[in-house]
Amino acid sequence: MPQPVTPKYLLEGAVYALEQCGLLLRDANLLYRSQSYASAVALAAFAREELGRWRILLALRKEVFGGTILTIEQIEDRCGDHVQKQSAGMLSLTTRTNLNSELGKLLTSKFDATPGSEEWKAFDAQIEKVNRQVAKRIPDDRHRRRMSALYVDPVPPDRWNRPREITQSIAAKFLQEAATDYSIQYWQHYTKPEYIKLDNPELFDAMTQWSDRPELPRPEHPSQ
């Protein structure tokens, strides 16, 4: 009979996944500085998956504290889908919104409306709808970006995908967004766990009492 996993085991796995995210991003930046832009994007995409694994494992840990019994096989199943991990690792959509985009224009209009008014509520509902659409699309887009950064594949009707055609600006944007999301988790959950104390005091205690937890790579952002 499979042995149930413990909250301690899930916390260790979550932190090791966050550590691996930071290491992959560090190496992606080394590739970026060497002008290996496609390889940098591919590695950053894998880093995002590890960021997603970190969040999935924290969520599973919370389930175990709620009484759910989980096994290794169930963990592997929950962490096995590439797109699902990209989705779990996706954070802070609106903080990087182009003001000329549909979402950017809605945000600007909401700021001009009177808070609490019917107009304000209408804009809020539209923003939530667009956010859901974007959140659904982006993980697939990032997974495809990773594949296009790795493989030469036919693109109908008459051309080939060439990873080396990924430009510096595309790579810089991809790495910047990945580094931003890693930074959020790094600072709020690891180096400054007091930020989570009010919402999750149990996790705060577990993090601060883990005396030999690994050192994580500091967030690093690409420079053009």
* Residue in this structure with the two tokens 């887009």, named with its chain if needed: 141
Q: Residue 95 carries which DSSP code?
A: G
Q: Which residue, among 159, 192, 157, 199, has the nearest Cα to 62 in the 3D structure? A: 199
CA pair distance 43, 25, nearest whole angstrom? 7
The string of pLDDT tens digits covering residues 15-46 is 999 999 999 999 999 999 999 999 999 999 99
Cα dihedral: 32, 35, 38, 44 (round 10): 0
The string of pLDDT tens digits covering residues 96-131 is 444 445 655 665 666 566 766 777 677 667 766 665
CA pair distance 201, 26, nearest whole angstrom? 31
State the DSSP string of 35-77: T-HHHHHHHHHHHHHHHHHHHHHHHHHHHHHTT----HHHHHH
What is the band of 60 on the pLDDT scale with cuts at 50, 70, 90? very high
